Amino acid sequence: MIRLTLLLIIVFFLVILGFTNSNELVRLNYFFGSSRPIPVAWLIAGTFAAGLLFGWLFMLPGWVKMRIELRRQRKAQDRLKEEIGEYRKIPANEINIPTRSEPDEF
């Protein structure tokens, strides 16, 4: 997760460096007005950053949920390992296994 984020940030900065040679200016027209002229490279970089931010925000709740579930599963696994360790300490002749003499009737 962290490696992917760092990779995307590095790609983001490389894209910015690649587009900084562009001197084209654009003006964004909104319903309520327009923006001041900005370079195309900054528009593309800002759009990329906004997409990265929104993607991360939409992914965050699922990631947190999976981390909590992973912690719960690891605790259960540790409890089961301890239980297996306790059973290994018991000699085999001391274990009482119940047997059935008659099958269950339905």
**pLDDT digit string, tens, across residues 42-76:** 788 788 889 989 999 999 999 999 999 999 999 99
Q: What is the pLDDT of residue 57?
A: 96
Going 66 to 72 to 76 to 77, the CA torsion angle's sign is positive
Q: Which residue has the higher pLDDT, 66 or 21?
A: 66
Residue 31 has which token pair?
């319903």
Q: Predicted confidence band at 105 (pLDDT cuts at 50, 70, 90)?
A: low
Helix or strand (DSSP H, E) at 26: strand 25-26
Total H helices, total E strands in the chain: 2, 2
Q: Is the Cβ–Cβ distance between 65 and 73 less than 8 Å? A: no
> Could you tell me the pTM of the whole model?
0.52
Q: What is the pLDDT of residue 103?
A: 63
Q: In the beta sheet, which residues pair with residue 39?
A: 25
Alpha-carbon dihedral angle through residues 62, 65, 67, 72, given to the nearest 10 degrees: -150
